[in-house]
Structure 1
């Protein structure tokens, strides 16, 4: 698997999120940006475990992604963030990203991986990014795929 391509594919999948009326559209990147336009989702760090199956048959990557929301109004910012962290619904990042799993029997992320799973939310807190403060959280996303590609 090629981590940079997977990062971009995850960011592309997250763009399907539909935020409540009156909220700015979610911007996304497959990398840590210098500056963000909130609300913003990006794929940050990752861990890779090689050789989950013999002969480079399967690798496992766990991506830490972040979603940051402007804190102009603390309560409304946290409501928007909560909508994006929900397990389902039009604003759910989990639902949008896992839609990229493909149909049964198809590879995930347009053929880049065998499967993916949004495992958990963590780090719900205030974040400072390039001098600005946002309310945000991290999502852990596990991706499995062929190690030799």
Structure 2
């Protein structure tokens, strides 16, 4: 049997992390995708609420998916969708106080999970974890030509 490729290992790790996050966040009423959006919104805390497009760019999620997630989070009362006063096509997102409270809990939950995932590297603050993250970030930043 051939050795697994780096693509396969990255895919397996991503799937393991996503499933683990979904399970860990379920008691809070969040999916991993919803968490990605609301935690990004929480982390921005800018004077002007970001647009759905800005959050799509930040998270790497498709704009239509961000819109769907925002509607789900709005239904829970954790996010407000606001019309942009300068661009009627744009929708801005603002986290509510209830959303902030849930997000803080979720950040603690995901932090404990990331501690477990990075334990083989010496933990989140270790040199090996920093090197692994830098390598993964370099892979993410590299352009991919899908035409060939």
Max radius of gyration: which structure? 2
Q: Same fold (TM over 0.5)?
A: no
Q: Of Structure 1 and Structure 2, which has the larger fraction of its residues in helix?
A: 2
- What is the TM-score normalised by the length of structure 2? 0.31
